[in-house]
Chains A and B, each alone.
Chain A
Amino acid sequence: MASQEIAPVGSGGDKTSLLNDPRIRGYFFQILALAAIVGLGYWIVHNTIENLQRARLATGFGFLNGRSGFDISSHPFTAYSSDSTFAQALWVGVLNTMTVAVVGIVTATIIGFIVGIGRLSHNWLIRKLCTVYVEVFRNVPPLLVIFFWYLGVLSALPQARQSIDLPFGTYLNNRGFFLPSIVPSTGLTLAGIGLIAGIVGALLVRRWAHRRQLATGQTFPVGLTALGLIIGLPLLAFILKGFPTFDYPILGNFNLRGGTHVGPEFMSLYLALSFYTASFIAEIVRAGIRGVGKGQSEAAHALGLRAGPTTRLVVVPQAMRIIIPPLTSQYLNLTKNSSLAVAIGYPDLVAVGGTILNQTGRSIEVVAIFMIVYLSLSVLTSLFMNWFNAKMALVER
């Protein structure tokens, strides 16, 4: 359109005006770029297919239905044996990755907040200890932190026969942490239902009490009621149907048998990722708190709030807005760093996928699955954190 309007300006200069027209130029270069990208994509796909055929490699994801033939040591959330399929083996890997990522994120956040706030403490010792923590873990590669826990701490624990006795029938040795498992019973199921009912009830009570306070100004002991509901209902179930029995670990031929156990591979990965990521989170928390204007806490002090409530009620809620966005990328880092599990033999997605890659020779497919899974996990984390961020954002009144 523009060219048509411009064209009549020059008498014999149709060509020059076309060449000089920024819109025409823009279209031209955009079409050129698009063609280059499509061409590159076509070339990659075409070349891949051709090379795969030349190397006589089968393609496709059909191999995932084959029998895996290998065992996986840790599959707490799903049934798995060597008779399961490759797809099920991968699923075990995905679940293991997610397990360590989720518990790691929770622990890292807790440690990170404590240390981050500790670095701003008025107490010299706490402040310096927190600084040392951050500097040590932030400046060491995560793989070394994992090796530190695995080879330095957990391998040094005694053999199964000399297990360290801990309270409540739990044991610690170089094969992991052993704890009693609860034997399933009707009382247990009922107690589980009671627990959920208790939590839901507590939430309802809190909502009702909040509304009542807004309407009438009367307060209600929400905390005590909630505690009563959450503990009382499962307890009632146990009293009615009998208390649960426990399966305690006892020394077998080779190792402790019975009960349940957490392997040293999981523990070292979990501890390493938590401690490592916590050092970054601590810095983010410190930066966030520093980012809240000094006037805010001064105003709170002027109103008579003491240091604790000032931090809790005035500073942290405002700091959260600064903290959450960079926190998201730390969560993503932790999830991705969990692939270092392969170095210590924890069966995460990469370790299991690597075995499958080797057993089936399907490198392109397996690497594609890796990428898709990590991408999905990251996108899910980001979406959740964006939602959380929106919830915490400043609401202008």
Chain B
Amino acid sequence: MKNSVLKGALAASALVLLANAASAATLDDVKKKGFLQCGVNTGLAGFGAPNDKGEWSGFDVDYCRAVAAAIFGDGTKVKFTPLSAKDRLPALQSGEIDVLIRNTTWTLSRDTQGFDFTGVNYYDGQGFMINSKKLSGINSALQLSGASVCVQAGTTTELNLADYFRTNKMEYNPVVFEKLEEVNAAYDSGRCDAYTTDQSGLYSIRLTLSAPDDHVVLPEIISKEPLGPAVRQGDPQWADIIRWTHYALLTAEELGITKANVDEVKNGDNPEIKRVLGQEANTKLGTDLGLTNDWVVNVVKAVGNYGELFERNIGAGSPLKIARGINAQWSKGGLQYAIPIR
């Protein structure tokens, strides 16, 4: 859409005109505003999408709420900006949003283009989905030579796709759209034979198709997609707040602190839990971060721990039913490993 040009132009003009937009102290700006402006997906069920009541919900959306709870002690003090893949980085760059939590892959080039990634909240990999009813003989991505493949513009997915077909000496015809909804509609109408994006995304998108059971996700994972929150470079305090909110969620799961029992265990005897929840005498862990000492309590009260957040939005408790897999705690064979809060 023209929208993207507009956004690009806005990003450019914002850089030209507004010296304050990207100023160093994002935390002060956010506190002054009274709410967090969080960039999320335009509509990826389970990760960031409005639910049937019109409220934003999803895994990434809850991360936004967690950050808001850490800052304000109130998970509702957040406003959401839905962003297409193409618009998301310019929006962060221009100061339109404070933090981007939108299935964004952490890569070296993005990290050096004025952004900082603060961790990996979901380890993902790129896969393919096909309509198994129409293409019944196909059960591997290596059989896709000659296919038209739907893909979203301006993603790492688009680059991996090119590399994968090139490496395997296969031909394909990319059908590229800017908006997720446009890609979904094109795939659903049969414009493409295959749909490629992160596997978690494929499971989520499958639910929105007209006949979800006709579609299968092929087994191949062709890339590493570490998804995580991103902030503007040059504000270490702000990056730390986002980074440690993620570790707080993981630590809470590790220590068995849940939304239901947080008030109870806060006053228990476990010294580690007391330290994490800011109940230690003369603790400065929270204030040194620019927050209050009970920030972890606020975070867990608002959204629960990492495990709860996962199950509720994309795991067993959701229509997506994604297994924890490599996103399990390190102690359970996964890759999620919290840095100690002490």
Contact = CB atoms under 8 A, between A and B. Distances in A.
Interface string A41-65: 0001001101110111110000000
A367 B6 CA distance: 9
A361 B147 CA distance: 30
Given A70-B158, A339-B5, A363-B93, A47 B153 contact: no
B17 A367 contact: no
A73 B5 contact: no
B66 to A, nearest CB: 26
B182 A363 contact: no
Interface in A159-197: 159, 174-175
Nearest to B16: A48
B4 A254 contact: no
Given A55-B15, A143-B1, 18 more contacts: A48-B16, A50-B19, A51-B18, A57-B93, A57-B114, A70-B158, A71-B174, A81-B166, A174-B189, A254-B148, A255-B193, A343-B182, A345-B178, A350-B4, A358-B85, A358-B89, A360-B113, A363-B15
A69 B162 contact: yes
A266 to B, nearest CB: 12
B153 A354 contact: yes
B114 A55 contact: yes
A175 B191 contact: yes
Interface residues of B, number: 58
A354 B8 contact: yes
Contact of B190 (A44, A72, A174, A340): A174
Contacts of B190: 159, 174
A363 B162 CA distance: 23
A48 B135 CA distance: 53
A366 B8 contact: yes
A143 to B, nearest CB: 8
User: A-B pairs with the 5 shortest C-beta distances?
Assistant: A358-B154, A361-B113, A82-B162, A345-B177, A69-B159
Contacts of A342: 1-2, 4-5, 178
Interface string A328-372: 000000000001101111010011001101111101101100100
B297 interface: no
B110 A361 contact: yes
Nearest to A58: B113
Given A47-B16, A82-B163, A358-B85, A56 B174 contact: no
A363 B12 contact: yes
Nearest to A360: B113
17 contacts: A44-B16, A51-B22, A143-B1, A151-B189, A254-B144, A257-B146, A264-B191, A345-B176, A345-B186, A350-B5, A354-B86, A357-B90, A358-B85, A358-B154, A361-B114, A363-B8, A370-B8
A304 interface: no
Interface string B221-239: 0000000000011100000
A295 interface: no
A252 interface: yes
A70 B154 CA distance: 9
B11 interface: yes
B175 interface: yes
A253 interface: yes
Contacts of B176: 72-73, 345, 347, 351, 355
Contact of B154 (A50, A72, A159, A359): A359
Q: How large is the interface on A (under 10, 10 to 19, 20 to 34, 35 or more residues)?
A: 35 or more
Interface in A105-159: 143, 151, 155, 159
A71 B337 CA distance: 37
A70 B159 CA distance: 5
A213 to B, nearest CB: 54
Given A174-B189, A361-B113, A255 B148 contact: yes
B323 interface: no
A345 B158 contact: no
B173 interface: yes
A44 B13 CA distance: 10
B134 interface: yes
Contact of A254 (B5, B146, B175): B146
B339 interface: no
Nearest to A370: B5
B9 A254 contact: no
Contacts of A340: 1-2
B19 A361 contact: no
Interface in A58-105: 58, 69-73, 81-82
B2 A364 contact: no
Contacts of B114: 55-57, 361
B233 A52 contact: no
B318 interface: no
Nearest to B154: A358
Nearest to B18: A51
Interface in B71-129: 85-86, 89-90, 93, 109-110, 113-115
B113 A57 contact: yes
A82 B174 CA distance: 12
B22 A355 contact: no
B145 interface: yes
A55 B159 CA distance: 26
Interface string A212-247: 000000000000000000000000000000000000
A372 to B, nearest CB: 14
Contacts of A361: 89, 93, 110, 113-115
Which of A72, A155, A359 is most buried by chain B, counting CB atoms within 10 A of its CB?
A359
**Of B5, B9, B163, most A-chain CB atoms within 10 Å:** B5
Given A57-B114, A342-B4, A357-B8, A51 B15 contact: yes
Interface string B175-216: 111100010011001110100000000000000000000000
B19 A51 contact: yes
Contacts of B178: 342-343, 345, 351, 354
